[in-house]
Structure 1
């Protein structure tokens, strides 16, 4: 009898082992993740995640593992997309389940950026905020109200270039900040000491830091938020609180300015004024006012820095590619002529200038990786399992330099977007995807166009000459969610005495 029981026990064990094996095999089959670097036990690929120039590392990985590769970082599945097809298949065709954002304890929750359009969870509130953008700046007709004041800002920028050409980057930043604050809050910046402008710069820099993977350990271990700030290792709380106050000020102060202007009837059209009912300005709905505040803050902080980055890249490109500059100036001379500066009304008649603006966005993308997307349902793609909660990054730099999409991708060739068979419009990539496409795209494109056109009409940009030889700057850009060209020098001079006189007259005669 004992031997019978022993046999039964052995059979039971064998059956249990067989069942476990079947479960493990089935689970392994079902959880067939995209390939990627082999991780370590428990921590996975924690030490594989690049901390700088991430897009370069991911591009190298894509050459080895393909256009859809994945990592496991402390249990979090992260997928890197490296082709236009995959990005469009998932973020455009399946946008309903690929449009969420990952929850970040510091940037989203503590600082409050989850209330803004870039970081808002996908849902009705995000759609409501997008409708606010449509109402205020969603059409070219709506933008026309801002163009007279934007033109004045452009003329001030040109004057600054005449006076201090070596400070071109500062002039760009002042101009883009001034324009976006006009649009967001109807506020006119007088100089770089403007309180709202300084808040914008501070919040933008701190946001970029806070959303950088690995910046705050609490984002990987949310339970750490409950540890008192005096405990060793919890000093991040003091940093986060300082950043949170900056966001609160950037939200409240410009909004209060608009409310005061509206109360006296002095408000000019802006994102805020267009989204507040003047009849209810004294006592607006609290929830609606909250959304308008944060949406406007995101418009003027993110919009200023990203556009400034693109325009700085434009100066770098003109320094390195004089043939493109000459072609653009030839078009301006033929269409606009020598007796005036270009205006927004010239845009449709300047195809090469528009193509040059597009090439700037492609050649040195402002967001090499963009903001992360989060999958809200289990999904499969080309045989791979993509579980709910997976976080996705698109290697925009790789997409915009893929020779399968762009011929000679490292070259600066605006003509690639002209003719009967233009290459893919880079705005399809540079401004995001699907339901997460940048709602301020028309503002950004209009600002880039008028700045490029006006600059090339009035100035020539060339390399600095030292010891009789031109010094060509390197093609490098900084790491981070919002990337800028690495510091460089160039020589900026008026094209002629007449061009300089046009700038002086534009400023004096308004």
Structure 2
């Protein structure tokens, strides 16, 4: 055989060998890509796409059509407008928040049935790899499933009820007098005074003493809280696809941002909490929530970090809800001056139209309109559009439907609050609608504090703070719009002024009354 033929044969063999190797590589790579995509597809399945028990079929309420994989994320991105669109589909609506099954409750009846009556199986929380595992390091009780939440709730309930409430009322009354004095001195910083009041009260409840003047550690704690609230469902894209947390970490390119936010949260807590912990352990601190948790009186067996998060969660929650509620009350006073003046007329009747004395907690029974005012602000300009979902811990048959384990039920606050079947003329601010004998119970008729066993354990503290401050501020100050603004676009999560108003003292007699109190 000629040598040149052997040479060409050798070249051909080499070519085919190379081609076969390339084909094998491409085939293997294709198989890996297909396997990976199939795995991702499986991880993105919602619970209602998984098999039902033998002989059963999932049956869900009607709802809007969504996009493949994304579900109804675009609808939720519209905020309250999207919430109202969802409500058009019925009393109970099936939606998909990415791969999460969210069944939206658009009535008080359903919220009560599923949160309270069926609470045994609806008290769960879904996996939240971002806001719980990374941002909160798996330690914020509000986001924890039942096995991690129940013990923390027991401790908080034990230390936030009973005789302790009397001591806490003293703190609230003291700090509200300081609030009034601050309004007199620097009325242009009214919003900052509201924040200082809320921080000071919850600090005294948590640590048993007044916060030190000039400290700025709370600034980072507040930033950590904003990070948490702005990433809570449905606002964090990646928590809408919790299955992706099962991918190898090097493929989760988004993790780094949230790990750093989680470290920032831990460090902000640690800097704030460490000197207080040291004083408690050295016997230099008074009796307090933190001391009872740290020294074992509360019989809480969590780690040191668990105790820090439990304590700081109280500081966070107690600071923000109260601040926002007082802000919204002032907004209502500006937008609905006739309701503000009606509240003031009640205050003048009880406390004197000539600044005889400041309102106090003993006046609550005589001032139902003030508490009705407080309840109306939580309906009219609610703080939350969505509160954390309640997730089924087992399959549930309910009113002709069959829901799989892992279904999340979520209350549509916008829809319920503006439903004319519940609230006549719902776009108007009418405290009178709450004058039903339950004025002092903020949770009666409102879901802003959650519901069922997941009801916020500190809501009664919040009610007391809102009452004492609304009654005293309305008695002593006038509020007016400084420039036109949209009262539906409140800058809640800012360190600056949420809306432009002017604050003015009511007169010399009230100024003297405030100065005596402070």
Aligned to 1:19: none
Identify if the C-alpha distance between structure 1 residues 26 and 168 changes in structure 2 by more than 3 Å, giving closer, same or farther: same
The CA deviation at 1:349 is: 2.5
The CA deviation at 1:277 is: 3.6
The CA deviation at 1:153 is: 2.0
Question: Per-residue displacement from partner, 1:32-52 (whole Å, max 9, x unpaired)?
Answer: 211111234x41525534224
Normalised to the residue count of structure 1, the TM-score between the two structures is: 0.82
Aligned to 1:58: 83
Runs of at least 5 residues in structure 1 that lack an aligned partner in the other structure: 1-23, 465-470
Greater mean alpha carbon deviation, residues 197-206 or residues 248-257: 248-257
Determine which of 158, 165, 173 is the counterpart of 1:143: 165
Separation in structure 1 between the aligned mates of residue 96 and residue 384 of structure 2, nearest angstrom? 23
RMSD of the alignment, in Å? 3.2
Aligned to 1:343: 360
Runs of at least 5 residues in structure 2 that lack an aligned partner in the other structure: 1-50
Separation in structure 1 between the aligned mates of residue 213 and residue 452 of structure 2, nearest angstrom? 37
Separation in structure 2 between the aligned mates of residue 86 and residue 486 of structure 1, nearest angstrom? 37
Separation in structure 1 between the aligned mates of residue 362 and residue 245 of structure 2, nearest angstrom? 55
The CA deviation at 1:440 is: 0.8
| Secondary structure of the structure 1 residue equivalent to 2:202 | helix
CA contact (8 A) 1:111 1:240 kept: yes
The CA deviation at 1:452 is: 0.5
Determine which of 317, 332, 339 is the counterpart of 1:302: 317
Determine which of 286, 291, 294 is the counterpart of 1:268: 286
The answer to whether the aligner puts 1:365 opposite 2:377 as a matched pair is no
CA contact (8 A) 1:69 1:81 kept: yes
The CA deviation at 1:147 is: 3.0
The answer to whether the aligner puts 1:404 opposite 2:421 as a matched pair is yes
The CA deviation at 1:386 is: 1.4
Question: Per-residue displacement from partner, 1:61-113 (whole Å, max 9, x unpaired)?
Answer: 212x1011112345432211111011111111000111111111121112235
Aligned to 2:58: 31
Aligned to 1:467: none
Determine which of 118, 123, 126 is the counterpart of 1:102: 126
CA contact (8 A) 1:368 1:397 kept: yes
Identify if the C-alpha distance between structure 1 residues 198 and 484 changes in structure 2 by more than 3 Å, giving closer, same or farther: closer
The answer to whether the aligner puts 1:488 opposite 2:499 as a matched pair is yes
Separation in structure 1 between the aligned mates of residue 192 and residue 437 of structure 2, nearest angstrom? 39
Aligned pairs, number = 465
Aligned to 1:8: none
Aligned to 1:468: none
Aligned to 2:188: 166
Identify if the C-alpha distance between structure 1 residues 288 and 172 changes in structure 2 by more than 3 Å, giving closer, same or farther: same
Separation in structure 2 between the aligned mates of residue 448 and residue 213 of structure 1, nearest angstrom? 28
Aligned to 1:463: 481
The CA deviation at 1:117 is: 2.2
Separation in structure 1 between the aligned mates of residue 268 and residue 149 of structure 2, nearest angstrom? 20
Normalised to the residue count of structure 2, the TM-score between the two structures is: 0.81
Separation in structure 1 between the aligned mates of residue 179 and residue 344 of structure 2, nearest angstrom? 19
CA contact (8 A) 2:169 2:464 kept: no
Identify if the C-alpha distance between structure 1 residues 216 and 368 changes in structure 2 by more than 3 Å, giving closer, same or farther: closer
Bigger radius of gyration: 2
Identify if the C-alpha distance between structure 1 residues 477 and 122 changes in structure 2 by more than 3 Å, giving closer, same or farther: farther
Determine which of 395, 398, 417 is the counterpart of 1:378: 395
CA contact (8 A) 2:371 2:467 kept: yes
CA contact (8 A) 1:45 1:71 kept: yes
Greater mean alpha carbon deviation, residues 402-411 or residues 495-504: 402-411
Identify if the C-alpha distance between structure 1 residues 420 and 110 changes in structure 2 by more than 3 Å, giving closer, same or farther: closer
Identify if the C-alpha distance between structure 1 residues 221 and 450 changes in structure 2 by more than 3 Å, giving closer, same or farther: closer
